[in-house]
Amino acid sequence: MKENHVTIDEWDWYIDDPTRLEPWFRIREDAEEKFLLYRDGALAVFKTADTAGRNYFVHHEVPDSLAKQVKALFGSRAKDLFTAATLLNDHGIPSVQYPGWGKSGTESMIISQDLPDAVTALEYWFNAVPHNHVLRLEFLSKLSGLIGLFYTSSLALRDFSLRNILVRNNGSEMLVVDLCNVEEREGVLTREEKLILLRPFAEMRGELSADDATVAILDSGLAADSQEASELWDEVVDAMEEYIQNELWPAVEENILTAHSTLYCRLIPQEDSILHVRNTIWHKECPIPDDSNSYAEELPSDEAQRLWLNGIKAELTRDHLQKVPVSWEHFEDERKDIIRFEVETVAELDE
């Protein structure tokens, strides 16, 4: 793809068609505020369109610490995404397109193709597949094939998730998205690099049986036989659980306790309280729960906080809870907090 270098408002853009930036880039602050999809620390993602009616997602990164600012002077997530997507295309791996990226000082942006008829593989697995055996088998087959492409191309990843894969709503196609770090190896991938490629399977543990996982891994070509596939499955599940305990959960817990929205719940400020509302397991916002779909209990603040954190963590570790919290309202005064639980789980507990 031919890149054009254009400078606008002290931003350097490297883009195939500069008209993709019109008119939203000159009003980017207003566009970001109005069409923000989510914000996670230094990264904000919003949706926009150009004068030709082409729709994009814009990833805008503003480093929020001195260390990140220093790092951003020598590189950027936007450039890494663009470079990785180019490498994937060179190896014939289906990927979302990134028409261009830009940088100004430590800030960076990248625009990505909008696929309105696609959802993340995480959502597809938990929302579309569970009650359709045929779709389930097709999904696992396509995922095995996609992972196999990375392996046969000797492409190593630093991280990989079901969130890095988009699936057409009809299940016909899979594309990778938001892979910042992709490196081409001269020889075969190491055992550790294989395990990273297999992480999407580990995210389905609980719904994906060991037998089905073994078959899927064998189909991907990462294992020579069923025994090795079974061993890889055990290793990747153990590695996933260790990652959650030692790296993921401490960061998620800190964000929740410091009143930040996460992939797992959103915060809604009230007049004299903060309402935490749980997201779906595929990270989409749920409606605010009420008496029609949940049951409320008043609890001391420390007890409510413990139950809420345990509920979020159980989703990550795939542990079963008798009472699943769906919201937590924390009051700033001396009143007790309010935890709401799923009606179904309360009913089962009563039985």
DSSP 203-214: TTBTTB-HHHHH
The β-bridge relationship of strands 155-157 and 182-184 is antiparallel
**11 three-class SS:** strand
pLDDT of residue 196: 97
pLDDT of residue 64: 79
pLDDT of residue 346: 43
pLDDT of residue 66: 79
DSSP 150-172: HHHTTEEES---GGGEEEETTS-
- Residue 105 to residues 16, 17, 64, 140, 181, Cα–Cα distance (Å): 22, 22, 13, 43, 21
**pTM listed for this prediction:** 0.88
Taking the C-alpha atoms of 256, 261, 109 and 115 in order, what is their torsion angle to the nearest 10 degrees? 130
pLDDT of residue 94: 95
Total residues belonging to the chain: 351
Residue pair 143/121 in contact (Cβ under 8 Å)? The answer is yes
Residue pair 22/50 in contact (Cβ under 8 Å)? The answer is yes
**Side chain identity at residue 305, one-letter code:** Q
Ordered by where they begin, the domains of the chain are 4-113 (3.30.200), 118-254 (1.10.510), 260-350 (no CATH)
* Ramachandran angles phi, psi of 298, nearest 5°: -95, 130
- From first to last of its 351 residues, the chain has per-residue pLDDT tens of 567 899 999 999 999 999 999 999 999 999 999 999 888 778 899 999 999 999 999 999 998 777 777 777 777 889 999 999 999 999 999 999 999 999 999 999 999 999 989 999 999 999 989 888 999 999 999 999 999 999 999 999 999 999 999 999 888 899 999 998 899 999 999 999 999 999 999 999 989 999 999 999 999 999 999 999 999 999 999 999 999 999 999 999 998 998 888 899 999 999 999 999 999 999 999 999 999 999 999 999 999 999 999 999 999 999 999 999 999 999 988 899 999 999 864 444 444
pLDDT of residue 1: 56
